[in-house]
């Protein structure tokens, strides 16, 4: 059974978002998503400075099996990307909610986090799939 940490917010398309103390939002894909994709071999990240719209396709995670778009959970500017993934995409498999994070956004409006699924709603979504 996939783990769903209580402090995260989620998209139906299986991205997670965490509001950090400094006001930035860290983004990754859920444990369920990495498990469904299988061994990741390639991650294409946005560039620092990119301005993202909410729900914009802005990254790609690619496994041996398939390529999958990653959508921005909310609007804002990309302020950091996880460069480690260029050489070690398997970190997403090993720690989807930890070292396998993808990028950080400086949100245009942090209140948009409230519009995302909470852990309970996401867990229900997984159950219904």
Partner 1 sequence: MARHTPLHSAHLALSARMVDFGGWDMPIHYGSQIEEHHAVRRDAGLFDVSHMTVVDLHGEQCRAFLSRLLANNIDKAATRGKAIYSCMLTETGGVIDDLITYYLEDDWFRMIVNAATREKDLAWIRQQAEPFHLEVKERDDLAMLAVQGPNARERAAGLLPRELATAALELKRFNALDADGLFVARTGYTGEDGFEMVVPGDQAGDWWQRLLDAGVQPCGLGARDTLRLEAGMNLYGQDMDEDTTPYEAGLAWTVALEPADRDFIGRAALERQRADGVPCALVGLVLEGRGVLRHGQRVICPGGEGQITSGTFSPTLEQSVAMARVPTGTSGRVTVEIRNRELPARVVSPPFVRNGKMNPAIQEDS
Rounded alpha-carbon distances, angstroms, from residue 50 to 39, 44, 81, 86, 124: 28, 14, 11, 18, 33
**Token match 């996939």: residue?**
2
Kindly tell me which residue out of 64, 84, 121, 124 binds partner 1, with binding defined by CB under 8 A. Answer: 64
Q: Name which position in 3, 7, 12, 38 contacts partner 1 (CB under 8 A).
A: 38
Q: Does 41 bind partner 1 (CB under 8 A)?
A: yes
- Site stretch for partner 1 (CB under 8 A), options 7-15, 41-49, 72-80, 103-111: 41-49
Contact 72, 103 (CB under 8 A): no
Q: Which of 2, 13, 56, 60 binds partner 1 (CB under 8 A)?
A: 60
Tokens of 13: 């398309």
> The tokens of 60 are what?
């790609």
- Residues in contact with partner 1, shown as a per-residue x/- string from 78 to 117 under the rule CB under 8 A: ---------------x------------------------
Nearest distance, CB of residue 67 and partner 1, angstroms: 7
**Minimum distance of partner 1 from residue 42's CB (angstroms):** 6
CA distance 59 to 92: 13
Asked if residues 82 and 45 have their Cβ atoms less than 8 Å apart, the reply is yes
The secondary structure of residue 113, as a DSSP letter, is: G
Residues near partner 1 (CB under 8 A): 38-39, 41-42, 44, 60, 62, 64-65, 67, 93
């Amino acid at each position: 059974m996939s783990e769903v940490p209580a402090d995260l917010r989620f998209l139906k398309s299986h991205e997670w978002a965490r509001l950090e103390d400094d006001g930035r939002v860290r983004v990754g894909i859920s444990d369920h998503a990495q498990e469904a994709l299988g061994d990741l071999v390639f991650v294409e990240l946005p560039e620092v400075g990119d301005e993202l719209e909410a729900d914009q396709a802005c990254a790609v995670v690619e496994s041996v099996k398939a390529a999958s778009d990653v959508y921005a959970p909310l609007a804002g500017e990309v302020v950091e990307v996880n460069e480690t993934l260029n050489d070690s995409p398997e970190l997403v498999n090993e720690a989807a909610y930890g070292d396998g994070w993808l990028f950080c956004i400086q949100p245009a409006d942090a209140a948009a986090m409230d519009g995302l699924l909470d852990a309970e709603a996401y867990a229900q979504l997984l159950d219904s799939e």
